[in-house]
Amino acid sequence: MAVLASEAAPVLVSADQWRAMAQAGERYPMFAAERERVERELRAAMAAGIKVPQPRDLGGGLTHEQHKANYKAIAGAGALYRLTGDRAYADFARDLLLEYARLYPTLSNHPAGKSSVKGRLFWQALNDSVWLVYSAQGYDAIRDTLTADQRRRIDDDVFRRMARFLSEENAGYFDRIHNHATWATAGVGMTGYVLRDRTLVERALNGTARDGKAGFLRQVDELFSPDGYYAEGPYYQRYALAPFIIFARAIQQNEPARGIFKRRDGVLLKAVDAVIQSSYGGKLFPINDAMPDKGLDTEEIVTGVAIAYAQTRDAGLLSIAGQQGRTILSPDGLAVARGVAEGMAKPFDFRSMELRDGPNGDLGDLVFLRRGGADGQALVMKNTQQGQGHGHFDRLNWLFYDDGHAVVRDYGAARFLNVEAKGGGGYLDENDSWAMQTVAHNTLVVGEKSQFGADWRVGEAHPTKPLFFKAGKGLQIASARMDKAYEGVVLTRTLAMVEHPDLAYPVVVDLFRADARSPTTYDLPLHFNGHIITVFDAEHSVRERPVLGKDSGYQHLWVDAVAAPSSQSRGLTWLLGKRFYTYRFAASAPTSALLVESGANDPKFNLRREPALIQRMQGQAGASFFSVLEPHGAYDPTAETVSGATSQIRDIARARGEGAEVIVLTLASGKRLALGVADVASKTAAHAVRIDGQVYEWTGPYARFDH
C-alpha cells in the first residue's frame, strides 16, 4: 500500500481528492446541492445529540433506525469535515464512534435476531455489514484528527471487532457466494484499507481461508453473468450492485494494479450499464419480485452512475445523473456534477441487447428489443434461469413499452414495501398465490398450472435455451425454448419487432409454439394496460362475474367476458395515454378468448385490479398461438383531436410447413408482410411453407417477406 502518506491519512478518498472537491464543489450545482442536503441532515442529527442505544428492535424499530441514522451521520460528517474544514463535523463523528467503542465490546448477538445470521447492532448481520461499509468511509475521513488513544480505541473496539465478527466469527456467512455476503466482504475489506490491515483486505478479497474459493473476487466472478446481469433480475440487481461498486472503488483507489474494473472484461461496469438498460421511463422492468415504482433514482444507482462515469467518462451516464437529479460526495460525484454543469450530457444509449444469464452466460438470457430511444418502443423477453427464490414462474414472458407507458405489463411483487398494515410490509400471501404464478404473466400456462409445479428450486435447475437473437434494421427478433417447465411439453416462443412503411410504429409479432405428448389445455394471457375501446364478440358477465379457477393464480381472476372457441382471428383495441393499441390474435386450433381482471378472492384488497386477455385452447397436444400488437393513432385530449384510431392491419394468418411456420400480416393498404420461423435454429437449413397459394422459401432460422 504504497500510496499511504501516513498511518492516519485518508485512504478511501485521498486528502488531495478531498481538497479538490472542497475547492471545486461550489461551482457545480449538483455537487453543491448534495453537500447542502447532507449538511442539513447532519445539522439535524447533531442538534439531536449523540444517541447510541442498546440494540433491541427489529427492522423499522427505534434502535434499528437510530443505528442506521448513525452510520449515515458518520459517513456524512467525515465528508463534510473534509469539504468544509469544520472540526465540529469531525468531532461529531469521533464522539459517535467513541460511543460505539464503549458499547460494541459489550454486545453479544442481537436479542431480536431471528435471522440465521444475527447481527450485533442489528437483528441481522446484513445490516451490521452495511453499517461497517458506511462508517469505515466516515472514519477514514476523520482518522487523522484523532489522538493516538482515540484512534486505538475506535480501531480496535469498533472496526477490528466488527470485522472479526463479520468474517472469522461468521465464516460460513462471510464465505457465501451471495450478495448479502458482499456487504460483509466490502465492509471488512474497506476496514482493512483504513486500518492498514493487510490481513483483513486479503480475507475480504479471497475469503476467510484466503484461498480465493470465497471472498469478493469470487463474488465478482460468480454473481454476475459475463454481460453484467444479476440472476434475480433488475430490482435485486439494483440492490446487489451497491457493495460491489463501493468496494471496487476502494480497491481501485488503493490497489489500482488489481484492475478490478477490468476484471472479467469489465463486468462491474457492465452491471451498471445493464441495470440502466433494464429500465423504461426511469423505472426498472418489474420482472420477478419487484416493486414496479422502483426506479433509477435510488441511492444505489446514483452511486453506480457516479463510479461508472469516473471510470468510463460515458456522457450518456450524465443524462441519467441529470434525471436522478443528484450525485454523491466523492471524486466521482464531483466528476458527474462537473460534466452535467458543463453540458456534456448526451442521451443515454438505450439499445437492443441480449443479457446472458449465469456466471458463464449459458443459463438463458434477458432480451431487450428497442427502437426510438428512451421513450420509444421497448420489448423485454424473459428467457432467464429462475432467479432464485425471488424468481417468478414466467419463462418466455414478454413486456412491451411505448410512448412512456407499460403497454403489456408484469404485476411485479404483491407487496406494499414497509407498509406495516399490509403484512408487516413484507411479501404478501398474494405474492405466492398470484404474482409468482404463471397466469399472472404473459406466457403460456399448460394444464392451468404454473411452470415447474410452482417450485422455484426445480426451476433453478432448468435454464431457458435461447435459440437466436438479432437486432437488425427494420426487424429485431429473439427466440427461446423451454422444455422442462411442464413434463413432456416443449415451449418455443419467437418475438419480433417489425417495421413497415405503412405502419406508424414498429409492431410486435409473436409466435408461441407448444408441443405436448398428449392433449391438454393451453392458456395464453396478455396483461394489457389501458381502457378497452373495441372488443371481439363475446358473452359478457354483466351482472355476475364468475371466478376463473381454484388455484395457480386462477382463483384471483374475475371473468368479464368469454368468446366461444373459434378459428377466426380476433382483435382487441385499447387506449393508453395518447395512443391506441390493437392486438390481433389467432391460433392453430379453435380457441376461446376470455377477458378477465385480477382481484377475486382478495378480502384484504391486497391486489391491484388489472385486466388481461386469455386465449384458451383445449384438447390439443400441439398448438401455435400467433399475434401482432400494433401501436397506432393519436389521442389528444387538449386539442380534442383523434387520428389513426383504426388499426392498419387487416388480418393475420399462419401456416405450418415441414419444420417451420409462417405468419402473414395483411395490411389495410393490401400489402403483406410475412415472417417465417423455423423449428430448429440452423443457419443452413432450408424451409418452404405454403399459405394461400403463396410459397415462402428461406434458409436459416427466420426470414422476413414483403409483398
Q: Are 493 and 511 contacting, i.e. CB atoms less than 8 angstroms apart?
A: yes
To the nearest whole angstrom, how small is the minimum distance from the Cβ of residue 204 to its own copies?
Answer: 27
User: In terms of Cα–Cα distance, which of 286, 322, 328 is closest to 306?
Assistant: 328
To the nearest whole angstrom, how small is the minimum distance from the Cβ of residue 81 to its own copies?
Answer: 25
Report the Cα–Cα distance between both ends of the chain, in Å, rounded. 69
To the nearest whole angstrom, how small is the minimum distance from the Cβ of residue 113 to its own copies?
Answer: 21
Write phi, then psi, for 105 (nearest 5 degrees): -65, -20
Pairing of strands 283-284, 279-280: antiparallel
Stretch that binds its own copies, among 106-114, 181-189, 241-249, 538-546 (CB under 8 A): 538-546
For position 455 contacting its own copies by CB under 8 A, the verdict is no
x-marked contacts with its own copies along 645-684 as a string, rule CB under 8 A: x---------------------------------------
Residue linked to cell 469535515: 81
Q: Are 443 and 287 contacting, i.e. CB atoms less than 8 angstroms apart?
A: no
Q: Is 343 left (phi over 0), alpha (psi -120 to 50) or beta?
A: left
Residues 6+ apart with CB under 8 A from 295: 279, 282, 283, 284
Per 3-state DSSP, what percentage of the chain is helix, strand, and coil (rounded to 5)? 35, 30, 35
Distance between CA atoms of residues 606 and 4, nearest Å? 55
For position 124 contacting its own copies by CB under 8 A, the verdict is no
Candidate list 14, 592, 601, 666; residue touching its own copies; CB under 8 A: 601
Distance between CA atoms of residues 455 and 641, nearest Å? 50
Q: Which is nearer to its own copies, 561 or 586 (CB)?
A: 561
Q: Are 247 and 256 contacting, i.e. CB atoms less than 8 angstroms apart?
A: no
Q: Which is nearer to its own copies, 149 or 544 (CB)?
A: 544
Helices (H) then strands (E): counts for the chain? 18, 27
Candidate list 641, 670, 693, 707; residue touching its own copies; CB under 8 A: 641
Cell of 561: 367476458
Q: Which is nearer to its own copies, 469 or 585 (CB)?
A: 585
x-marked contacts with its own copies along 262-301 as a string, rule CB under 8 A: -----------------------------x-xxx-xxx--
For position 114 contacting its own copies by CB under 8 A, the verdict is no
Q: Which is nearer to its own copies, 334 or 600 (CB)?
A: 600
Residues 6+ apart with CB under 8 A from 457: none
To the nearest whole angstrom, how small is the minimum distance from the Cβ of residue 202 to its own copies?
Answer: 34
Please state, in angstroms and as integers, the Cα–Cα distance from residue 693 to each residue in 655, 664, 689, 696, following that order. Answer: 11, 13, 10, 10
To the nearest whole angstrom, how small is the minimum distance from the Cβ of residue 421 to its own copies?
Answer: 5
Q: Are 617 and 623 contacting, i.e. CB atoms less than 8 angstroms apart?
A: yes
Q: Which is nearer to its own copies, 603 or 693 (CB)?
A: 603
- Element at 204 (helix H, strand E): helix 198-206
User: In terms of Cα–Cα distance, which of 294, 499, 464, 507 is closest to 367?
Assistant: 464
For position 210 contacting its own copies by CB under 8 A, the verdict is no
Candidate list 4, 532, 621, 688; residue touching its own copies; CB under 8 A: 532
Q: Which is nearer to its own copies, 99 or 597 (CB)?
A: 597
DSSP, collapsed to helix, strand or coil, labels residue 606 as coil
Distance between CA atoms of residues 229 and 237, nearest Å? 8
To the nearest whole angstrom, how small is the minimum distance from the Cβ of residue 556 to its own copies?
Answer: 10
Q: Is 635 left (phi over 0), alpha (psi -120 to 50) or beta?
A: beta
Stretch that binds its own copies, among 51-59, 474-482, 515-523, 593-601 (CB under 8 A): 593-601
Restricting to residues 376-435, name those near its own copies by CB under 8 A. 416-422, 425
For position 37 contacting its own copies by CB under 8 A, the verdict is no
User: In terms of Cα–Cα distance, which of 658, 565, 699, 665 is closest to 620?
Assistant: 565
To the nearest whole angstrom, how small is the minimum distance from the Cβ of residue 555 to its own copies?
Answer: 9
For position 155 contacting its own copies by CB under 8 A, the verdict is no
Distance between CA atoms of residues 7 and 91, nearest Å? 19
Q: Are 132 and 75 contacting, i.e. CB atoms less than 8 angstroms apart?
A: no
Candidate list 533, 589, 688, 691; residue touching its own copies; CB under 8 A: 533
Q: Which is nearer to its own copies, 148 or 605 (CB)?
A: 605
Buried b (16+ CB within 10 A) or exposed e, 360-386: ebebbbbbbbbbeebebbbbbbbbbbb
To the nearest whole angstrom, how small is the minimum distance from the Cβ of residue 620 to its own copies?
Answer: 29
Q: Which is nearer to its own copies, 205 or 600 (CB)?
A: 600
Stretch that binds its own copies, among 187-195, 337-345, 537-545, 698-706 (CB under 8 A): 537-545
For position 634 contacting its own copies by CB under 8 A, the verdict is no
To the nearest whole angstrom, how small is the minimum distance from the Cβ of residue 466 to its own copies?
Answer: 33
To the nearest whole angstrom, how small is the minimum distance from the Cβ of residue 241 to its own copies?
Answer: 15
Q: Which is nearer to its own copies, 412 or 466 (CB)?
A: 412
Q: Which is nearer to its own copies, 473 or 531 (CB)?
A: 531
Q: Are 633 and 645 contacting, i.e. CB atoms less than 8 angstroms apart?
A: yes
Please state, in angstroms and as integers, the Cα–Cα distance from residue 477 to each residue in 200, 491, 645, 649, following that order. Answer: 49, 17, 27, 20
Q: Which is nearer to its own copies, 468 or 635 (CB)?
A: 635
For position 705 contacting its own copies by CB under 8 A, the verdict is no
Stretch that binds its own copies, among 30-38, 270-278, 380-388, 529-537 (CB under 8 A): 529-537
Write phi, then psi, for 265 (nearest 5 degrees): 60, 35
At CA 665, angle to CA 662 and CA 666, rounded to 5? 135
DSSP, collapsed to helix, strand or coil, labels residue 519 as strand
Side-chain-facing half-sphere of 232: CA atoms under 13 Å = 16
For position 504 contacting its own copies by CB under 8 A, the verdict is no
Q: What are the start-end ranges of the E strands in 155-247?
A: none
To the nearest whole angstrom, how small is the minimum distance from the Cβ of residue 178 to its own copies?
Answer: 20
Distance between CA atoms of residues 507 and 484, nearest Å? 30
For position 640 contacting its own copies by CB under 8 A, the verdict is yes
Stretch that binds its own copies, among 170-178, 399-407, 446-454, 531-539 (CB under 8 A): 531-539
Q: Which is nearer to its own copies, 20 or 645 (CB)?
A: 645
Stretch that binds its own copies, among 381-389, 440-448, 555-563, 649-657 (CB under 8 A): 555-563
Q: Are 631 and 581 contacting, i.e. CB atoms less than 8 angstroms apart?
A: yes
How many residues bind to its own copies according to rule CB under 8 A? 49
For position 609 contacting its own copies by CB under 8 A, the verdict is yes
To the nearest whole angstrom, how small is the minimum distance from the Cβ of residue 268 to its own copies?
Answer: 23
Residues with a known catalytic role: 236, 390
Stretch that binds its own copies, among 185-193, 209-217, 490-498, 528-536 (CB under 8 A): 528-536
To the nearest whole angstrom, how small is the minimum distance from the Cβ of residue 388 to its own copies?
Answer: 20
Stretch that binds its own copies, among 263-271, 544-552, 585-593, 655-663 (CB under 8 A): 544-552
Q: Which is nearer to its own copies, 201 or 596 (CB)?
A: 596
Where along the sequence are the contacts to its own copies (CB under 8 A)?
A: 291, 293-295, 297-299, 416-422, 425, 531-535, 540, 542-547, 558, 560-561, 573, 575, 597, 600-605, 608-609, 635, 637-642, 645
